[in-house]
């Protein structure tokens, strides 16, 4: 996979970033948006990346163009809406949901859910947690990483272990729900304080108000219909008069009778009109009475509403309503304890089963040793028993720990690529931090140049590095500033560029 371009649009303007295979996002000073740019990239690819203090990602429109398997894709994200084009045609569109597995599978071309769930932790070394995250923990925000689950997803004949992981995740979800219920119980107990008067909007008043509005609407409609009928009746009367009709006189010797307004000899029209007018007056009186009741009730409801929100705000009033729900804390706390034990037992069972898979463990450890040798930390690796899953990280010094993390992450990428036949991009945020010497960073760049020649690499830093065929993307003061360079056209890479080394 190769990121070709990212376009960002916000209220500040629009910025287009073009990428090559090797890239350094560079600035001469800190805090101009280098790390933010990487975050926006992953946010644009559908990840739940938290916004920064200065920039709210939900307000951005983000287009990320990338190439995979000789196809050109473009993802689009705006707030909670996602869209994916393949070779110019839309073939996926959906609002962001809690289950993004299908989306990530389309982005990376990987089917294994456990691999997709842990992929970001392997390829993205974020400036804060990325360089301290070794084999398990949070990558950024609430995105987690677990090397055991990642390698299980890459293993063969793993259906039984995957079922156990699925069950473990289900239990963890229930545990989170029990924690939420207990927390809610604490809030409602705290907020359920007696007040001088318990003010509520009466259901009876609300229903009455609703019925009055219905009656008002009906009477207005009926009154308008009657007015139109009266007008039509009067118009018809005048029309008949205008015709000057002649009616045969019942007295043979007399001339015909002329029907006209002067003679006022058109019978029953006035009676009909008078009846309609009487009906109209009656309806108008009814409407006046309904509107009077509605005004009075409307005033009462306004007073009740204002009193309610003077007494307690929306949150407190909601918590007070929830406090009426009976929560058995002892029972839920007991269930939580049982869940902890079930999850621990499942984790032990998963560990025991997975460690029988010697092949993928040996493959991962071999890559770690290879990179550790280049970085001069073989003794650190060898001094930790079962080091791939070690919890003993406090004994490793800062500079050594930096190199250990890098070895592990690069090994993860090699193993993932071998088992998925997918070329992965590598993202390094501020690799020269944490008291890293120039000698050590040179060795890191050497590994990238020699062992990840075909991979796309994107480094964000205030330093320049000896990365082969590098493309410098400079941010001078902020993300939304002029590109100052012509944007190259998007072109497909050659098939050979996708072969793993």
**What token pair was written down for 465?**
């590095």
The residue among 44, 5, 89, 41 whose CA lies nearest residue 491 is 5
End residue of a domain, out of 311, 327, 343: 311
Report the alpha-carbon angle 214-217-223, nearest 5: 140
- From first to last of its 501 residues, the chain has per-residue pLDDT tens of 999 999 999 988 899 999 999 999 988 888 888 899 999 999 999 999 999 888 899 999 999 999 999 999 999 999 888 999 999 988 887 777 656 888 899 899 998 888 999 999 999 988 777 677 778 888 888 888 988 889 988 987 777 888 888 888 889 889 888 888 888 777 666 555 544 444 455 667 778 878 888 888 888 888 888 888 888 777 777 777 777 778 877 887 788 888 777 777 777 767 777 777 778 878 888 888 888 888 887 777 766 666 555 545 556 666 666 666 777 778 888 888 888 999 999 888 888 888 777 888 889 999 999 999 999 988 888 776 666 776 656 566 667 888 888 999 999 999 999 999 999 999 999 887 666 788 889 999 999 999 999 999 999 998 888 899 999 999 988 888 765 444 443 444 443 443 333
Domain assignment present for residue 274? The answer is yes
Domain final residue pick, 311, 342, 377: 311
Answer yes or no: is 492 within a domain. Answer: yes
Examine the fold and report which residue of 311, 335, 358 is the final residue of a domain before the chain moves on.
Answer: 311
Domain annotation covers residue 115: no
Residue 445 lies in a domain: yes
Q: List, in sequence order, every residue forming a beta bridge with 9; answer none if it has no partner.
A: 14, 61
Q: Give the N- to C-terminal CA distance of the chain in Å, as an integer.
A: 14
How far, in Å, CA of 185 to CA of 232, rounded? 67
> At 275, which CATH number?
1.10.287
Query: How far, CA to CA in Å, does 415 sit from each of 104, 113, 268, 374, 412?
Result: 19, 16, 100, 18, 5
Burial class (CB in 10 A: 0-12, 13-18, 19+), 394: exposed
Would you say residue 416 lies in a domain? no
Q: How far apart are CA 158 and CA 419, in angstroms?
A: 14
Is the Cβ–Cβ distance between 44 and 62 less than 8 Å? yes
Q: Is residue 101 part of a domain?
A: yes
Question: How many structural domains is the chain composed of?
Answer: 2
Check: CB of residue 201 under 8 Å from CB of residue 301: yes
- In order, the DSSP letters of 416-446 are HHHHH-----EEEE-TT-TT--HHHHHHHHH
Per-residue tokens: 36: 């933010």
Assessment of whether the complete model's pTM goes beyond 0.95: no
Element (H, E) at 138: strand 136-140
Question: Does 297 map to a domain?
Answer: yes
Cα of 263 vs its chain's centroid, Å: 81
CB 14 within 8 A of CB 105: no
In this structure, the dihedral spanned by the alpha carbons of residues 101, 104, 108 and 111, taken in order and rounded to 10 degrees, is 10
Q: 495: which residues sit within 8 A by CB, 6+ positions away?
A: 70
Distance between CA atoms of residues 102 and 96, nearest Å: 11
Report the CATH number that the domain containing residue 83 is assigned in CATH. 3.40.50.300
The residue range of the domain holding 303 is 203-311
Residue 130 covered by a domain = no
């Amino acid at each position: 996979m190769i990121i070709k371009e990212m376009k960002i649009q916000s209220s500040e303007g629009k910025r287009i970033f073009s990428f090559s295979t090797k890239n350094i996002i560079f600035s001469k000073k800190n805090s101009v948006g280098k790390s933010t740019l990487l975050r926006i990239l992953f946010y644009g690819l559908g990840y739940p990346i938290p916004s920064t203090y200065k920039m709210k990602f939900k307000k951005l429109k983000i287009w990320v163009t990338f190439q995979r398997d000789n196809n050109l894709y473009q993802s689009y994200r705006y707030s909670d809406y996602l869209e994916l084009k393949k070779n110019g045609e839309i073939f996926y569109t959906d609002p962001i949901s809690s289950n993004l597995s299908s989306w990530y599978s389309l982005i990376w071309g990987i089917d294994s859910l456990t691999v997709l769930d842990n992929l970001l932790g392997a390829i993205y070394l974020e400036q804060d947690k990325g360089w301290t995250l070794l084999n398990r923990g949070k990558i950024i925000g609430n995105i987690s990483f677990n090397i055991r689950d990642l390698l299980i997803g890459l293993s063969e004949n793993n259906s039984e272990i995957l079922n156990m992981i699925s069950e473990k995740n289900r239990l963890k979800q229930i545990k989170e729900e029990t924690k939420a219920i207990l927390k809610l119980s604490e809030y409602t107990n705290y907020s359920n304080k007696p007040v001088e008067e318990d003010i509520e909007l009466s259901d009876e008043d609300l229903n009455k108000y609703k019925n009055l509005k219905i009656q008002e609407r009906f009477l207005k409609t009926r009154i308008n219909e009657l007015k139109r009928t009266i007008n039509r009746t009067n118009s018809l009367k005048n029309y008949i008069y205008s015709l000057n009709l002649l009616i045969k006189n019942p007295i043979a010797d007399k001339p015909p009778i002329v029907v006209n307004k002067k003679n006022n000899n058109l019978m029953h029209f006035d009676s009909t009109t008078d009846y309609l007018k009487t009906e109209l007056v009656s309806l108008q009186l009814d409407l006046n009475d309904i509107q009077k009741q509605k005004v009075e009730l409307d005033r009462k409801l306004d007073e009740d509403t204002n009193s309610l929100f003077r007494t307690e705000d929306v949150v407190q009033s909601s918590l007070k309503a929830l406090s009426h729900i009976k929560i058995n804390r002892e029972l839920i706390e007991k269930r939580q304890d049982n869940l902890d034990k079930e999850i621990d037992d499942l984790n032990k069972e998963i560990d025991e089963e997975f460690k029988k898979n010697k092949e993928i463990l040996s493959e991962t450890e071999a890559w770690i040793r290879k990179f550790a040798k280049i970085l001069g930390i073989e003794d650190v690796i060898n001094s930790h028993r079962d080091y791939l899953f070690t919890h003993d990280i406090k004994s490793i010094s800062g500079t050594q720990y930096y190199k250990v993390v890098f070895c592990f992450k690069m090994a993860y990428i090699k193993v993932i690529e071998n088992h998925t036949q997918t070329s992965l991009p590598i993202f390094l945020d501020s690799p020269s931090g944490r008291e890293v010497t120039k000698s050590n960073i040179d060795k890191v760049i050497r590994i990238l140049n020699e062992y990840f020649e075909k991979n796309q690499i994107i480094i964000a830093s205030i330093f320049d590095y000896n990365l082969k065929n590098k493309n410098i993307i400079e941010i001078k003061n902020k993300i939304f500033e002029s590109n100052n360079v012509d944007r190259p056209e998007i072109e497909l890479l050659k098939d050979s560029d996708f072969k793993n080394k």
